[in-house]
Amino acid sequence: MIEDKFGFAIGLCTSGKWDLRIGGRAYSISSGCLYILIPSQFTETIFRSGDFSARSVTVSLDAILEHPSPVDINILNITFLHPVIRLGGDTASRMKEYYDFIDRRHRDKGNAYSKEINKTLLYALMLEISNIYRNISGDDSEVAKPRQEQLTDDFFRLLSTHYRSQHNVGFYAERLHRTPKYFSGAIRRISGRSVSDWIATMLLSDSKLLLQSTDMTVLEISEELGFSSPSVFVQFFRHHTGITPLRFRKQL
């Protein structure tokens, strides 16, 4: 699945377990874990327990950037590398208090300054998260990262930006200054899937989202996703789902 593409999902797990892939790499979220899912980053659920529960907010990039310093834009880069972190007991409790208070304030519609209060509480939450990430990682973490893991992170950054227009493995290998053979092998070893498979997965998830949530025609979707023609898009969709895009839409 693809999480909300229009905002950062910032969550604190309070019970249960959620195993997932974020940017092709496996993570496990359980009680006390803070997670941040970035817009357009591919997220795929492997397993989610029935008792999984989390407190979360969805925040747009604009809402983050409109806050004054010291909410550092570099924090967004760090969360890309560390989307899931386990908090200590005291830190997890403090974060839960923020979520509880934000939730209570959000439900209070009688205050004339509710909008301003909610923005201030969000800013405070972001400062807490910034401090957590600043304490657990820094510039030195990049130096220590294994080469193929770094290559995989770089690939998924590129993929989230270019998957609609670039469907060829060679494009990503060239941009990352690797031969296609080495590049493909490295991505498969780290993520468990081929580059072509990840490109197809992104395109398929996006096409399903467009079919579900818009009135775009098959022609418009095929153009939006960079296919050379509607027939090529239909063939691609049928190969991966067993049905045509129009039949998929009718079954919704």
Q: The domain that contains 13 carries what CATH number?
A: 2.60.120
Same domain, 86 and 27: yes
Residue 244 CB-density burial (10 A; 0-12 exposed, 13-18 middle, 19+ buried): middle
What is the model's pLDDT at position 115? 79
- Per-residue pLDDT of 220-242, as tens digits, reads 999 999 999 999 999 999 999 99
**Given a cut of 50, is residue 59 above it in pLDDT?**
yes
Mean pLDDT of 59-74: 59
Same domain, 17 and 107: yes
Does residue 102 belong to any structural domain of this protein?
Answer: yes
In degrees, rounded to 5, the angle at the alpha carbon of residue 6 between the alpha carbons of residues 22 and 249 is 85
**Given a cut of 70, is residue 144 above it in pLDDT?**
no
Same domain, 15 and 135: yes
Same domain, 17 and 122: yes
Same domain, 181 and 213: yes
Q: Are 40 and 8 a contacting pair, CB within 8 Å?
A: no
The strand order across the sheet containing 53-59 reads 53-59, 8-15, 33-37, 84-86
The confidence band for 5, taking pLDDT boundaries of 50, 70 and 90, is: very low
Same domain, 39 and 102: yes
Does residue 151 belong to any structural domain of this protein?
Answer: yes
What is the model's pLDDT at position 62? 62
Domain carrying residue 90: 8-141
Same domain, 158 and 60: no
Phi, psi of 102 (to 5 degrees): -60, -40
Q: Which of 74, 109, 141 is the last residue of a domain?
A: 141
Neighbours of 222 (CB within 10 A): 22
Same domain, 19 and 63: yes
Rounded CA-CA distance 67/84 in Å is: 23
- Coil/strand/helix, residue 214: coil
Report the number of distinct structural domains present in the chain.
Answer: 2
Q: What's the pTM?
A: 0.60
